[in-house]
Structures are given as C-alpha cells and as structure tokens.
C-alpha cells in the first residue's frame, strides 16, 4: 500500500497510526453516545463521551502492546480503553445493552464503507 501511495516507511507508519487512532476514537465514542442516548450517563460522568483520542488511549493496549509486537515481528494488534456503561441504566434492558455493544462495530463497518468510497477516487494508475 505504501508503494501505491508513493510514501516512505515513516510517513506510511504515521498515516496508519493516525487512521487507527481516529477509528478507535470514533468506535469507543459511539459506544458512549449510544449508552447516553439510551439513558446511561456513565460515560459522560467519566469524561469519555468525547472524540478526544487521548481519553480513549489505554497505555498498554494502545501503545505498549502494538510496539512490542512490532519489535518482535509478530502480527500487530491492540485496543482502546473500553467506554464504561451501566447496563441497568439503559432503556430496553438487555436489548439496550446489546445496542450499546453493537454501536462500535457498526461504526467500524460504516467507516470501512466510507474509506472504500474515498479509495475509489484515488488514482493509482500513474504509479
């Protein structure tokens, strides 16, 4: 992919990290927004109802683990700090809790469609 975009390795890594941080932030924030929409204000009270990526970074899952895996040449994965919610405060009981849980993955799916749409406009034929 970096060859297609005509980027060197450092620029490519920076772009990938930024994209992952944005995706991770939106994913976690949507869990919080859905919980808030359904009546639970736990995420708001804890300052997690935000699109500020710093609030969603888990020191180990977001930084240390991916770096260690990259160093040893293993497949890289990581995660964000989960947004807290109280399933007893959301409307619709277990269905409400399920909506909170599925909000993040559905957001990832929407982001994938948006990125695919954008990628169709990138001309790679000249590279």
Contact 85, 44 (CB under 8 A): no
pTM: 0.85
Which residues 6+ apart lie within 8 Å of 82 measured at CB?
28, 31
| Residue that the structure tokens 């919080």 belong to | 32
Q: What is the pLDDT along the chain (127 residues), one digit of tens a residue?
A: 555 556 677 788 888 889 999 999 999 999 999 999 999 999 999 999 999 999 999 999 999 999 999 899 999 999 999 999 999 999 999 999 999 999 999 999 999 999 999 988 887 666 5
Domain boundaries along the sequence of the chain: 2-119
Contact 115, 20 (CB under 8 A): no
Catalytic site residue 28?
yes
């Amino acid at each position: 992919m970096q060859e297609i975009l005509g980027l060197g390795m450092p620029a490519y890594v920076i772009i990938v990290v930024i994209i992952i941080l944005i995706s991770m932030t939106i994913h976690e924030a949507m869990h919080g927004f859905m919980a808030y929409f359904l009546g639970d204000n736990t995420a708001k009270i804890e300052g997690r109802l935000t699109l500020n990526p710093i609030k969603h970074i888990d020191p180990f899952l977001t930084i240390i683990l991916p770096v260690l895996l990259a160093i040893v040449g293993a497949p890289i994965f990581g995660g964000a700090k989960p947004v807290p919610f109280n399933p007893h405060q959301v409307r619709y009981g277990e269905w409400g809790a399920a909506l909170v849980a599925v909000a993040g993955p559905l957001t990832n799916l929407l982001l994938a469609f948006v990125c695919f749409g954008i990628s169709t406009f990138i001309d790679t034929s000249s590279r």
